[in-house]
Amino acid sequence: MLKVKLQVTSDESSEASSDAFVLHRAADHAVEFAEIPEMSNITDTVETGAMTHNMRLVIPERFCSADITSEGGDVEVATIKEGALRVYSGQRLFPLTFQMPESGLALKDRRWHASMKGGDVRLGSIAATDLEVYTCGGELSGRSLVAGDADIETGGGDIDIGKLMGTFVHVSTEDTEVSNDACGAVKCGAIYADNLHLITGGKGVLIQELNSKDAFVAAPGGAAITVESLAGTCVLSAGGPAPNRAVRPAPSQGVEAHLSGRVGQVMLLSHGGPIKLYLPHTAEQALTVLMRPAGAQSLEDLICSSSEEGMTARLGQWQRLSSFGKDSSPTWAPLDVQGVASLLQQLHAFRGTECCRWLAEDDNVGQSSSDTVREDQGGVSGDHALVLLDAAGGEVSVLQQSWTEMMAAKIGSPGVALKPAKDL
């Protein structure tokens, strides 16, 4: 049994209130409504013909799933706990239903074509088993979004989320049929995910805190990517070609990342734009930083090498961070043979991640048995981290954070306002 209260107001401000209802699904799957004298608790906007009605629906906060469709109207959901939430604003040209793959996010060929622009979607405190939101050009804002699997697409609208947490998380503002500049920006206070795939069309990405075992963050339109506190394994890629995208990518505005926790493998690519890497004030683990010098093979070529010899030769062209000068400028040195052999183990571990396959645009990368590295067989320990910087000729800066800067990145600096998502 589910108690619901429905309240409807028209665009002419006339109001029609209902009593509460009990919804009961009979054995033949028919839904029966029965009025009850008491009331009982969500909000949507529905358009019927020329008249717009505002609908407010109140349902139980816990153990209740919601499936909301609005043909262009704004949608607001205050709270969902321990239920599934699906929100669709706009009109789709084919069915909404889709299965989240258990092994990851195989989403390269997905297309959401909207025949009617969607409205804005505002989410409050959501703790759902599964979360799916599609706005078809409308903006998405959320305070706290926690889900087992989360699939969020705006088709060009901006995204502004306080906290986003999930096992498999997919976030996209891309609209493959419009120019880069028309695609929305992404701003998140914190993202915690086992697997993250985040892509914007043309505008930037700003994440205050990112902690993920396997994350791919891309701005193929060339806008800047900034992560103010980074831990885990990830790829941050600004500029360059985008999968399944016909428009020409813009020049890259660069990548900036602040390491503030334990990391595995971190790859920063700027496709000609500047790269700025901030190292932690005190090292919790051994850290190797490599840079691609002029004339060396790209990071994509490196991880797509089909043989051990090819990967060894290409990695040997890179340089490692050896020290900092008196003016705090980084000093780079060639890799020796022993150093290359040690780093190959970490690259093999990276080749087994989803973010590596997204970067290589090849689902077969890392699938061979030779790419499976176990720690008890000489694999890489969690005490050693690897960072690769590929600016493709752009400026590379490596700086050490002060303790104050590192703590400010972790907890957020009071009095420092973030740019609105639309300004990124």
Taking residues 122-135, report their average pLDDT: 93
Query: Distance (Å, rounded) from C-alpha 277 to C-alpha 401?
Result: 10
Asked if 123 contacts 43 with a C-beta cutoff of 8 angstroms, the reply is: no
Q: What is the DSSP string of 347-362?
A: HHHHHTSHHHHHHHT-
Backbone φ and ψ of 401, nearest 5°: -75, 145
Residue 25 has what pLDDT? 54
- Positive or negative, the CA dihedral 406, 407, 412, 416 is negative
pLDDT of res. 369: 37
Rg (CA), the chain: 24
Give the pairing type, strands 43-48 and 31-36.
unpaired
Could you tell me how many helices (H) and strands (E) the chain has, helices first?
A: 5, 23
pLDDT score of 160 = 97
Tell me the percentage of the chain whose pLDDT exceeds 90: 34
DSSP string, 227-244: EEEEEEEEEEEESS--TT
Could you write out the DSSP letters of every residue in 106-140?
--TT----EEE----EEEEEEEEEEEEEE-TT--E
For 229-267, write each residue's pLDDT tens digit: 999 999 999 987 654 444 455 568 999 999 988 899 999
pTM for this one?
0.78
Predicted confidence (pLDDT) at residue 222 exceeds the cutoff of 50: yes
Residue 310 CA, chain-centre distance (Å), reads 32
pLDDT digits (tens, 9 = 90+) for 368-395: 434 443 333 333 346 788 999 999 889 9
Per the model's pLDDT, the better-predicted residue between 51 and 340 turns out to be 340
Residue among 199, 260, 206, 204 at smallest CA distance from 235: 199
Which tokens hold the place of 5? 């209260």
Q: How far is CA 411 from CA 92, 139, 159, 416, in A?
A: 40, 26, 21, 12
> 32 pLDDT exceeds 60?
no
| 138 residue type, one letter | G
Q: Give the lowest-confidence range in 35-49, 79-93, 303-317.
A: 35-49
Single out the residue of 134, 194, 137, 188 nearest to residue 169, CA to CA.
194
- In this prediction, residues 39-51 reach a mean pLDDT of 41
* Confidence class for position 199, pLDDT limits 50, 70, 90: very high
Task: Give the residue, 261 or 151, on which the prediction is more confident.
Answer: 151
More confident residue, 318 or 368: 318
CB 235 within 8 A of CB 219: no
Q: Which residue has the higher pLDDT, 244 or 140?
A: 140
The residue among 386 and 62 whose pLDDT is bigger is: 386
Question: Mean pLDDT over residues 266-275, rounded?
Answer: 94
Task: Give me 224's structure tokens.
Answer: 């800047």
pLDDT, residue 68, reads 84
Domain boundaries, the chain: 1-59, 61-172, 175-413
Q: Across residues 151-169, what is the average pLDDT?
A: 95
SS3 142: strand
Reply yes or no on whether the pLDDT at 228 is more than 90: yes
Higher pLDDT pick, 351 / 206: 206
Return d(Cα 210, Cα 107) in angstroms, integer.
Answer: 21
In the prediction, which pLDDT does 252 show? 86
In degrees, rounded to 5, the angle at the alpha carbon of residue 128 between the alpha carbons of residues 122 and 134 is: 45
